[in-house]
Amino acid sequence: MIFEKTSIQGCYNILIEKHEDQRGFFGRVFDEKEFQKNGLKTQFVQSSISKSLKKGTVRGFHYQVEPNSECKLVRCIRGKAYTVIVDLRKNSPTFGKSDGYEITSDNYAVRYVPEGCANCTQTLEDNTDLFYLTTGYYSPDCERGIKWNDPFFKIKLPLKVTNISDKDQNWKPFDPDTCLT
């Protein structure tokens, strides 16, 4: 496994090391010892899947606050998606920064989203499926979000937004003083 640091402190792109032969290949996408060696949380308690029917669909930005804040692993199991992570931690040296990366069913990359960061995805193909593991249980009371085009972050997605939920379209403007409360 290759743990590739991103421009956000504590956020990683995790790439598999392929062991190939005539059958194809084998590679690990999770190894508790390797995660811990890199200082990453490993106590995943919930897994989820999303299916987006249309290219250009946006989900997010999503995150949770205490007592159910969470780290998240995001992997594309079908299709292609562009993921953006923003750092909401006021005491972080990378506060306010964003990091984008393409995950596909062909590159097998996994994004590690640390606590205090929000994640957004935009599908780059029709019928894109994403798989999530989280260290916290979903809690509607702790759920928070940021509109994908909030001017504070100046995010540029690769495609025109073709589909977005009313909830994601109507998040309140980002407030750095209250975002993690």
Q: How many CA atoms lie within 13 A of 90 on its CB side?
A: 8
Residue 4: how many other CB atoms lie within 10 Å: 12
Listing DSSP states for 49-104 in one string gives: EEEE-STTEEEEEEEE-TTS---EEEEEEESEEEEEEEE--TTSTTTT-EEEEEEE
Q: Which amino acid is at 104?
A: T
The one catalytic residue among 12, 62, 63, 82: 62
Say which of 12, 101, 132, 138 is annotated catalytic.
Answer: 132
Please indicate whether residue 132 is annotated as part of the active site. yes
CB atoms within 10 A of CB 125: 16
> Phi and psi of 36, rounded to 5°?
-65, -35
Q: How far apart are CA 29 and CA 15, in angstroms?
A: 7
Structure tokens at 153: 């972050």
Catalytic residues: 62, 132
